[in-house]
């Protein structure tokens, strides 16, 4: 009886230890064991906005870019969740470079380059990546880094169009939405409606 009790105690201890090891192995962080720059990735554009407007971080999965249509702007690009994507006139396309960092990147979350990129209605040859100042990778379209706009709280919003005269909805070919060929786009929202220096 004494031996049986000791064996039962050892078995219970082993089961408990195994359960703890298993629980520690699945911390729920969403990052598959990577200790690189995953945690430093900028907000992704593939997740719905939180109540504050910021996107959830990339989980290392696929990023989606898809062509859509807006009643006023015409052809536009959205992420996989239907949120409108933008380009910034102070960035460059050749070579690709992002000049939106710090608080700018909080208002305009960069579209993080996931492990895979799925495209719909967009020429995949136009899709690329650029390394940001913090070392993270951002998607580009025709060389232009692409962003979400935090005040766009639901799919289909285009509140960032024309902000500061430098932010524009991006088209499937990387151009500015709503602009006749060879002419700048007309802002749909006056910059005064977006306090806090969103125009950068």
Instruction: Please write the tens of the pLDDT for every residue from 108-140.
Output: 999 999 888 899 999 999 999 999 999 999 999
What is the three-class DSSP state of 51?
Answer: coil
Domain assignment of residue 127, yes or no:
yes
Average pLDDT over residues 156-185: 86
Residue 31 pLDDT level (bands cut at 50, 70, 90)? very low
CB 7 within 8 A of CB 74: no
Domain assignment of residue 164, yes or no:
yes
User: What is the DSSP annotation of 109-146?
Assistant: -B-B--SEEEEESS-GGGEEEEE-TTS-EEEEETTEE-
What does the pLDDT read at residue 179? 65
Q: 54-66 burial string, b = 16+ CB within 10 Å, else e?
A: ebebbbbeebbbb
Residue 76 pLDDT level (bands cut at 50, 70, 90)? very high
- Hey, what are 191's tokens? 């910059």
Instruction: Please write the tens of the pLDDT for every residue from 164-173.
Output: 999 999 999 9
**DSSP structural state of residue 105:** H
Domain assignment of residue 70, yes or no:
yes
Domain assignment of residue 2, yes or no:
no
Percent of the chain with pLDDT over 90: 55
Average pLDDT over residues 49-74: 65
Domain assignment of residue 114, yes or no:
yes
Domain assignment of residue 103, yes or no:
yes
Give me the domain span that covers residue 102: 46-193
Domain assignment of residue 62, yes or no:
yes
All residues at 6 or more sequence positions from 8 whose CB lies less than 8 Å from its CB, including other chains: none
The region of weakest confidence among 28-42, 90-104, 140-154 is 28-42
Structural domain count of the chain: 1
Is the pLDDT reported for residue 57 higher than 90? no
């Amino acid at each position: 009886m004494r031996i049986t009790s000791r064996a039962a105690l050892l078995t219970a201890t082993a089961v408990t230890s195994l359960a703890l090891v298993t629980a520690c192995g699945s911390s729920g962080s969403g990052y598959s064991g990577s200790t690189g720059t995953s945690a430093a990735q900028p907000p992704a554009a593939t997740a719905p906005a939180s109540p504050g407007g910021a996107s959830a971080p990339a989980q290392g999965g696929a990023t989606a870019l898809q062509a859509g249509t807006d009643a006023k702007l015409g052809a536009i690009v959205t992420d996989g969740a239907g949120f409108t994507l933008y380009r910034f006139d102070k960035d460059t396309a050749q070579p690709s470079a992002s000049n939106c960092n710090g608080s700018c990147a909080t208002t305009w979350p960069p579209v993080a380059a996931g492990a895979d990129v799925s495209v719909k209605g967009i020429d995949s040859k136009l899709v690329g990546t650029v390394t940001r100042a913090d070392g993270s990778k951002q998607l580009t379209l025709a060389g232009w880094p692409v962003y979400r706009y935090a005040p766009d709280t639901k799919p289909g919003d285009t509140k960032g169009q024309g902000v500061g005269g430098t932010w524009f909805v991006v088209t499937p070919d990387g151009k500015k939405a709503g602009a006749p060929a060879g002419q700048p786009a007309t802002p749909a929202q006056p910059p005064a409606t977006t306090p806090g220096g969103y125009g950068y």
